[in-house]
Amino acid sequence: MFLGRFQHTVDSKGRVSIPIKFRETLAERYEEKLIVTTDLDQCLVAYPVEEWRIMQEKVKTIPAMQQEVKDWLRFFYSGAVECPLDRQGRILLSPTLREYARITKEIVMLGIFNKIEIWDAKRWKEKESQMPKNSEKIGAALSGLGL
Give the residue-averaged pLDDT of 39-51.
96
Predicted pLDDT at 67: 86
First to last CA, the chain: 19
CA–CA distance, 112 with 120 (Å, rounded to integer): 17
Nearest to 96 by CA among 27, 30, 14: 14
Residue 44 belongs to some domain of the structure:
yes
Asked whether residue 140 is assigned to any structural domain, the reply reads no
Encode pLDDT of 52-80 as tens digits. Answer: 999 999 888 888 778 888 888 898 899 99
Any domain includes 18: yes
Confirm whether 127 is domain-assigned: no
Structural domain includes residue 38: yes
User: What residue numbers bound the domain in which 109 lies?
Assistant: 2-122
Q: Let me know if residue 137 belongs to a domain.
A: no
In a domain, 145, yes or no: no
How far apart CA 13 and CA 129 sit, in angstroms, is 30
Q: Is residue 141 pLDDT above 70, yes or no? A: no
pTM of the model: 0.89
Per-residue model confidence (pLDDT) at position 20: 96
Task: Give pLDDT, residue 106.
Answer: 98
CATH classification at residue 92? 3.40.1550.20
Model confidence at 137: pLDDT above 80:
no
Position 39 in a domain: yes
pLDDT band at 100 (very low <50, low <70, confident <90, very high): very high
* Count of structural domains, the chain: 1
